[in-house]
Amino acid sequence: MELFGGFFEQYGQLLAQATWDTLIMVVVSCVFAYVIGLPIGVGFAVTAPGGLHPIRWLNMVLGWVINIGRSIPFIILLVAIIPFTRLMMGTALGVQGAIVPLVVSAAPFVARIVEQSLAEVDPSLVEAAESFGSSNWQIVYKVMLKESLPSLVRGVAITFVNLFGYAAMAGTVGAGGLGDLAIRYGYQRWNEEVMIAAVVVCVIVVQVFQSSGDLIARKIDRRRA
């Protein structure tokens, strides 16, 4: 107990601040990633061959955007868009500097998750809505998005987990958070206790959020009722 007490007395505040910084980075980035990725994913699904409103050229453009965005490793993207990050946020360091690359990296991932979630909707429901004279927008909003909500919720949890890992990675280049704590106070100072504490916090946060996402998805999934 004295060992834990001494550790938290020395590093407890740093660990709490690093955890808070990481959560801020991840939550803010996740929100903006969905603001960008959700309409892209919906547009990709709707304009696909056999979709509500097939537009081949637009579907191809959106597909290229999604695939190219997902193919760039985050650590390379993080460095490559530093000028853009500085233009948008005024800095490429700290929590603010990490948000832009996190959003850019996550938005294509979100778009793909949304597109796959919409593809799981029973086509008969879409056909029924069309037979009642619903517009494409009404079908997307009231049928496709509503019916795919459990899958979308699970997608949010998956996106959060991925961004949490990316945020820790961003900490290695000055973004702050748990990654920065683990590198500066753990690895560089050969302090295994800090490294282990950072890993434990990461595991706890990820498990809590993933379990919460799964629980919410099961609660709202009418197919399991």
From CA 175, how far away is CA 156, in angstroms rounded? 23
Is residue 194 within 8 A of residue 11, CB to CB? The reply is: yes
Query: Could you say which of 3.30.70.580, 3.40.50.720, 2.60.120.460, 1.10.3720.10 is the CATH number of the domain covering 2-224?
Result: 1.10.3720.10
Question: Residues with Cβ < 8 Å from 101, sequence gap 6 or more?
Answer: 74, 77, 78, 81, 85, 170
Query: Please, which pLDDT band fits residue 223 given cuts at 50, 70 and 90?
Result: low
Strands (E), 146-225: none
pLDDT tens digits, residue range 22-63? Answer: 899 999 999 999 999 999 999 999 998 888 888 899 999 999
pLDDT tens digits, residue range 152-201? Answer: 999 999 999 999 888 888 877 777 788 778 777 777 777 778 888 888 88
Q: pTM of the full predicted structure?
A: 0.87
Residue 10 DSSP SS3: helix
**If 0-12 CB within 10 Å is exposed, 13-18 middle and 19+ buried, where does residue 92 land?**
buried
Cα distance between the two ends of the chain = 47
pLDDT tens digits, residue range 113-140? Answer: 999 998 888 888 888 887 888 788 888 8
pLDDT tens digits, residue range 2-30? Answer: 445 566 677 678 888 888 988 999 999 99
pLDDT of residue 152: 92
- From its phi and psi, is residue 53 left (phi > 0), alpha (psi between -120 and 50) or beta? beta
The structure tokens listed for 24 are 């801020």
pLDDT of residue 2: 45
The structure tokens listed for 107 are 């938005």
* Res 88 pLDDT > 70: yes
Cα-flanking dihedrals φ and ψ of residue 50, to 5°? 85, 0
* Mean pLDDT for all residues in the chain: 85
